[in-house]
Amino acid sequence: MKSMETSPNGKSLKVIVIGDGGAGKTSLVNRFIHRTFSSIYKTTIGVDISPFNTVTKGPRQRAIRFVLWDMSGQTHFKRFRSRFYSGTSGAIVVYDLTNATSFRNVQEWIKECQENVRKIIPIIIVGNKSDLTELRVDTPRLLEHGFPVYYTSAKNGDEVDNSFMTLFEEIVEEPLEKGDTEPGKTTHISYDSS
Ligand SMILES: Nc1nc2c(ncn2[C@@H]2O[C@H](COP(=O)(O)OP(=O)(O)OP(=O)(O)O)[C@@H](O)[C@H]2O)c(=O)[nH]1
Ligand SMILES: [Mg+2]
């Protein structure tokens, strides 16, 4: 088995998944890592942390470990969230294509992220639930932010791998192989536990 001790500086690379409650952050992570989907909504209390191992393409395969931090989007967790941003290498800001408020809040999420991370990191914006075409609300493209926008469906998997892997590649600046990686166990941290 290939060693997976990690990435450029020997540490894991932290990627946060943020956005309004119900936008589909947990569903996207579950689709990306476990290839599963559930229509039952179980809000995240605190943060779920899932490792994801991958390797760079090319002759010299370098093992990289990303750790996805799936944060609760619920507003009552806002005051606890700031401490979870430190050491972040990249961010996925998720909104719900059927919910205009979640789209409007993308700006707030980017601001919260940038204020707390305090360095320039790659960010992507993900409009999720693209399968719900009938319910989709009209939202202008977010070009003014200058961040790439993807339209995903955690339900049918559309654009999920592509959006996540593109962000990961932007972080390490090398093409990556999704391949037969084995996900590690998800760890849960409650916001008010410390
Ligand atoms: N149709 C459809 N439903 C989705 C999709 N993604 C998520 N959902 C549903 O939306 C609801 C909320 O999804 P979650 O992934 O729990 O949302 P979250 O962003 O993690 O929410 P919090 O943990 O509360 O911040 C669940 O009922 C999911 O099944 C999608 O792509 N398509
Ligand atoms: Mg969640």
The CATH classification number of 13-189 equals 3.40.50.300
Residues 6+ apart with CB under 8 A from 152: 24, 28, 126, 127, 128, 130, 158, 159, 160, 163
Mutate to test the pocket of ligand 1, among 37, 41, 80, 186 (most ligand atoms within 8 A of CB): 41
Q: What is the pTM of this model?
A: 0.91
Note whether 170 and 90 are within 8 A (CB): yes
* pLDDT tens string 114-173: 999 989 999 999 999 999 988 888 766 655 568 999 999 999 999 999 999 999 999 999
Please tell me the distance between residue 154's alpha carbon and the centre of ligand 2 in angstroms: 12
Q: Is 34 in the pocket of ligand 1 (CB under 6 A)?
A: no
Which one of 16, 17, 20, 26 would you pick to mutate in the ligand 1 pocket, going by the greatest count of ligand atoms within 8 A of its CB? 26
The span from the CA of 104 to the CA of 30, in Å, is 25
Answer yes or no: are the C-beta atoms of 6 and 64 closer than 8 Å: yes
- pLDDT band at 59, cuts 50/70/90? confident
Two tokens, residue 127: 């409009």
